[in-house]
Amino acid sequence: MFNKILIANRGEIACRIAATCKRLGVRSVAVYSAADAQARHVAVCDEAVQIGGAAAADSYLRGARIIEAARVMGAQAVHPGYGFLSENEDFARACAAAGLVFIGPPIAAIAAMGSKAAAKTLMGEAAVPLVPGYHGIDQDAQRLQREADAIGYPVLLKASAGGGGKGMRVVEHSHAFAAALASCQREAASSFGDDRVLLEKYLTRPRHVEVQIFADQQGGVVYLFDRDCSVQRRHQKVLEEAPAPGLSAELRRTMGEAAVNAAQAVKYVGAGTVEFIMTASGEFYFMEMNTRLQVEHPVTEMVTGLDLVEWQLRIAAGEPLPLTQAQLVCEGHAIEARLYAEHPARGFLPSTGTLRHLHWPAHVEFALSAADGARAAVRIDSGVRQGDSITPFYDPMIAKLIVHGASRQQALARMAQALGECEVVGLHTNIAFLQRIVSHDAFASGELDTGLIERHQAAFFAAEPVPPPAVLALACAALLARQQEAGEAASPWTALAHWRLNGPCIQTLCWYQRGREAAGDEPGPYAVTFTSDHEAQTLACAPCSEPEPFAWWRGDVPHAFGVMLGERRITGRVVTQDDVFDVFYQGQAYALEWQNLLAHAADEAGDEGRLTAPMPGKVIAVLVSPGEVVAKGAPLLVMEAMKMEHTIGAPTAGTVTEVHYAVGDQVSEGVQLLVLDAG
Ligand code: ADP
């Protein structure tokens, strides 16, 4: 076994790898960019080296710099994690040349699987089933168009070098092919530096089922069962589970064996995932092989009780597979949810900012049945702590929440509960969106296919629930507490209240709900009438409702509040900053803004016709020029942020009167990109 390794990654996966190193007594060396000097992964590793600027290209993608760091620090091996250099064959080769062990497969296997197109050719030869399509080397646009026409629509365009759904485009009609091809090639070139594409028949309602395999240097190959990753948005995984629900033992074994065949065909070594696309009737086709640890590997760890990073290290160090196929057991059910800083209702735009408040359900950070005898029910893999920022430089993942249960039903219940206990303040997250999916009948009943989210979008993208009286009462309690602690205990409402010398104080508190505003729903106001005199306090949570006896107190832990409203005892948590009160009550989050009635109303000057950048990024295509008349929905400009393209479309028909940016310009969130005259 190694005694020191360098982790060429950041975020949760770097922390995850460091945890295994610590358990095995292997020293870990972190690398970090200028933006990550205070990052958690730097703190959890034993040593750390700064390798360059914030942009990935200036740091985490600088192979030579990372290898240099490994040598200087005396590391024997490099673990690349996922993303960044994990599937980069030049990097693997450079590691070997520098005398470092690359903790991953042999260079030839990365090369073979690095291109989806070449991999398909190889798998076809090894008799692994393939989706009908075109993966030839001729990339002439007309040739591609002819192939697409021959396959029949809908056709799926993929970047040959792709991953993470980037570049992928579904084309419904022949006439839409050329534009989709150009867009796919552009995204492929910017994400992977390679604009080659392949075509596949687009299957309707398929499932994504993948098999975890492991191979050692002695030629042994085993499969660690399967995972279902069908719940996706824009071809990116949202929820993953192990084992894949509803597979017969025979199908499970057939798929496992097909995956082992695929691995053997490329003389694979280490951890790998063979991804299959499966039809409702159980036919499955090879999609690609990921030659690294997957984001969703924890669900496999939960059901097998194994530490996959430990297996990776042992195999890279030359040890044989720790267990044989017959010794591997799959126990219970595990589900993973990816918690992202993003706006699901706004096309999943990444959200950046500081994690002002972060509270997780009771969990273990990384636990295994084999190691501690008791399988963890809830595990969280995260690369951030409260106070850290999600920046535009890297993937906006906040954490992975993984649960295990004896059955799928139990795992699902645990997931729903754990999600309800997650509290994140400071940026938008997908937590409410995840909650709606896991509590929906379609997911619960195992109606798994890649169209699940789209089919039920009305339910999943529903407006934020309106705050019930309990939530308003908790917010009022937090406001009162704040006033009191600011030294206004004697008369909390001095500044605002309408005191009458011989009568009670009566105050109307106005609350607006932030999420609803963003979703275009009525955000309030929710008027709460608070009455206080010497003897008693009351609260009326709606204009016409009867005042109810009211009392409040602070809980034992920070942010915890309790109130009595009538005879109801209500507890929750409230995180405040300025006039924004984030209330967490019974598994739901409500962002309420207190409107100080003495302050003037926010200026909501008309924004019509102004087209602003929804996030910081770069302009990569300007599709219109001033004077141009456009139809509603017409694409006007394309931005790129976090390597994803976002097209700005015309909200109404009109004439473009101004274009403020050109291709290559970097723009910040909220700047005006163009002006459209709707008249
Ligand atoms: P990436 O490597 O970019 O993640 P994949 O080839 O793994 O791309 O595909 C990602 C997802 O896209 C799959 O999980 C599946 O949901 C969908 N997909 C891929 N190929 C097809 C296809 N031929 N028909 C329908 N959906 C597909």
How do residues 178-232 score in pLDDT, each as one tens digit?
Answer: 999 999 999 999 888 999 999 999 998 999 999 999 999 999 999 999 999 999 9
CA–CA distances in Å: residue 78 to residues 103, 180, 500: 6, 38, 73
The residue out of 181, 201, 221 marking a domain boundary is: 201
Give the pLDDT of residue 490. 42
In a shared domain, residues 443 and 570: no
In a shared domain, residues 242 and 363: yes
Does 120 fall in a domain?
no
**CATH number of the domain enclosing 151:** 3.30.1490.20
Does 302 fall in a domain?
yes
Does 118 fall in a domain?
no
Radius of gyration of the chain (CA): 27
Give the pLDDT of residue 604. 35
Asked if pLDDT for residue 544 goes beyond 90, the answer is no
Does 605 fall in a domain?
no
Strand order in the sheet with 270-278: 284-290, 270-278, 207-215, 221-233, 236-242, 333-340, 397-405, 378-382
Determine the distance separating the centroid of ligand 1 and the alpha carbon of 428, expressed in angstroms. Answer: 27
Burial class of residue 140 in the structure, from the number of CB atoms within 10 Å of its CB (0-12 exposed, 13-18 middle, 19+ buried): exposed
In a shared domain, residues 261 and 366: yes
Asked if pLDDT for residue 445 goes beyond 70, the answer is yes
Reported confidence tier of residue 643, pLDDT bands at 50, 70, 90 = low
The one-letter code for the residue type at 172 is E
Q: Look over the chain and give the mean of its residue pLDDT values, rounded to a whole number.
A: 90
Beta strand pairing call for 77-79 and 101-102: parallel
Ligand 1 atom closest to Cα of residue 275: 7
Does 346 fall in a domain?
yes
Nearest-angstrom CA–CA distance, 172 and 151: 12
Structural domain harbouring 486? 469-595
Does 523 fall in a domain?
yes
Distance of CA 658 to the CA centre of its chain: 35
In a shared domain, residues 549 and 584: yes
Determine the distance separating the centroid of ligand 1 and the alpha carbon of 160, expressed in angstroms. Answer: 12
The one-letter code for the residue type at 270 is G
In a shared domain, residues 589 and 614: no
What tokens does 276 get? 């299959």
What tokens does 338 get? 């990816």
With a Cβ cut-off of 6 Å, ligand 1 is lined by 131, 156, 158, 162-166, 168, 200-203, 206, 208, 232, 235, 275, 277, 287-288, 450
In a shared domain, residues 440 and 523: no
Asked if pLDDT for residue 491 goes beyond 70, the answer is no
Reported confidence tier of residue 367, pLDDT bands at 50, 70, 90 = low
Ligand 1 pocket test, pick from 450, 454, 455 with the greatest ligand atom count within 8 Å of Cβ, gives: 450
In a shared domain, residues 428 and 546: no
Determine the distance separating the centroid of ligand 1 and the alpha carbon of 164, expressed in angstroms. Answer: 9
Check 292, 379, 414, 436 and give the catalytic one: 292
Reported confidence tier of residue 502, pLDDT bands at 50, 70, 90 = low
Asked if pLDDT for residue 469 goes beyond 80, the answer is yes
Provide mean pLDDT across the span 607-627.
Answer: 79
**CATH number of the domain enclosing 642:** 2.40.50.100
**CATH number of the domain enclosing 500:** 3.30.700.30
Nearest-angstrom CA–CA distance, 648 and 531: 49
Burial per residue of 317-350, b for 16 or more beta-carbon CB atoms within 10 angstroms, e otherwise: beeebbbeeeebebebbbbbbbbbbbbbbeebbb
Q: Pick from 355, 296, 302, 390: which is nearest to 10 by CA?
A: 390
Q: Give me the DSSP letters along 111-128.
A: HHHHSHHHHHHHHHHTT-
Ligand 1 atom closest to Cα of residue 165: 3
**CATH number of the domain enclosing 234:** 3.30.470.20
Query: Is the pLDDT higher at 495 or at 232?
Result: 232
Does 601 fall in a domain?
no
> By three-state DSSP, how is residue 338 classified?
strand
> By three-state DSSP, how is residue 321 classified?
coil
Asked if pLDDT for residue 525 goes beyond 90, the answer is no
> By three-state DSSP, how is residue 36 classified?
helix
In a shared domain, residues 577 and 529: yes
Does 603 fall in a domain?
no
Strand order in the sheet with 155-159: 133-134, 197-201, 155-159, 169-171
Nearest-angstrom CA–CA distance, 227 and 211: 6
Long-range contacts of 323-328 (CB under 8 A, 24+ apart): 323/222, 324/220, 324/222, 325/222, 325/223, 328/222, 328/224, 328/225, 328/304
**CATH number of the domain enclosing 31:** 3.40.50.20
Give the pLDDT of residue 635. 81
Give the pLDDT of residue 545. 82
In a shared domain, residues 394 and 529: no
Residue owning the nearest CA to atom 17 of ligand 1: 235
Give the helix/strand (H/E) hosting 109: helix 107-114
In a shared domain, residues 176 and 238: no
Give the ranges where 25-86 is alpha helix by DSSP (H): 40-44, 63-73
In a shared domain, residues 308 and 188: no
CA–CA distances in Å: residue 471 to residues 20, 395, 432, 551: 42, 33, 16, 14
Domain count, the chain: 5
31-46 pLDDT per residue, tens:
999 999 999 999 999 9
What tokens does 414 get? 């645990």
Give the pLDDT of residue 524. 80
207 is catalytic: no
Ligand 1 atom closest to Cα of residue 287: 6
Give the ranges where 193-345 is alpha helix by DSSP (H): 249-265, 297-304, 308-316
- For the entire predicted model, the pTM comes to 0.84
The residue out of 547, 566, 595 marking a domain boundary is: 595
In a shared domain, residues 582 and 539: yes
